Amino acid sequence: MEQQYRDLLVKQSRQMKLELSEQQLDKLMQYHALLVKWNKAFNLTAVRSPLDMVTRHLTDSLSVLPHINVERLIDVGSGPGLPGIPLAICRPDLPITLLDSNIKKSRFQFQAKAELGLDNVEVIHERVEKFIPEQRFDGVISRAFASLQDMLHWTEHLCSEQGVFLAMKGMYPADEIEQLPEQIELRQSIRLDVPDTEGERHLLILGRT
């Protein structure tokens, strides 16, 4: 079965024009196996099928990889480390902080960081509004927030003046974009092509005006 998951990830990443090294594939598969194992005991994700986890978690996370042009990234509401851990595996040069208030999910993140030897990952178990970083981030990413308004409200204090908010969304949220606060503008909307996925996927890049 492991080979089946690996083959699927290779096929889907190539469809997205991503070339992953054997070492990156090894670590992504190690992370996948860990997620499958822990999910049985701790219910980290509603996705139960290991095959679906490849598409809906690994491939979906990697779809934003070409669009991450920041020096320090925080993944807010990271859950079991998505998209932060797949991005950290493929960008060992990029410091990534994973932030989540759920203790089970943070424990899993700590375990994945240790087992995969992810020196570029920092795990913070804290509520988003209570976490005050020593230095603000130039990239804030999330695929967890219900609305752009919520994301901006809860994470504004984490983002530097020149930084960007990277919101992973499904359908293009025209209504939410119309309601953006005056000080925030949509810099870029990228239609993500995630193989074997129904429905639209978008990455919205927002910044201060």
Query: At residue 117, does pLDDT exceed 90?
Result: yes
The tokens of 139 are what? 């990239």
> pLDDT tens digit string along 151-191?
999 999 999 999 999 999 999 999 999 999 999 999 999 99
Given this model, what pLDDT does residue 206 score? 98
Find all residues with CB under 8 Å of 161, minimum gap 6, and list them. Answer: 208
DSSP code string of 113-125: HHHHT-TTEEEEE
Mean pLDDT of all residues belonging to the chain: 97
> pLDDT tens digit string along 36-74?
999 999 989 999 999 999 999 999 999 999 999 999 999
Q: How confident is the model at residue 145 (pLDDT cuts 50, 70, 90)?
A: confident
Q: Which CATH architecture has domain 60-208?
A: 3-Layer(aba) Sandwich (3.40)
The residue type of 38 is: W
Q: How confident is the model at residue 144 (pLDDT cuts 50, 70, 90)?
A: confident
Given this model, what pLDDT does residue 146 score? 85
Query: At residue 112, does pLDDT exceed 90?
Result: yes
Find all residues with CB under 8 Å of 119, minimum gap 6, and list them. Answer: 92
Of 164, 157, 189, the C-alpha closest to 176 is: 189
Sheet arrangement for strand 121-125: 121-125, 96-100, 73-76, 137-142, 159-169, 201-208, 184-192
> pLDDT tens digit string along 77-107?
999 999 999 999 999 999 999 999 999 999 9
- Cβ(81)–Cβ(108) below 8 Å: yes
- Cβ(154)–Cβ(88) below 8 Å: no
Query: At residue 1, does pLDDT exceed 90?
Result: no
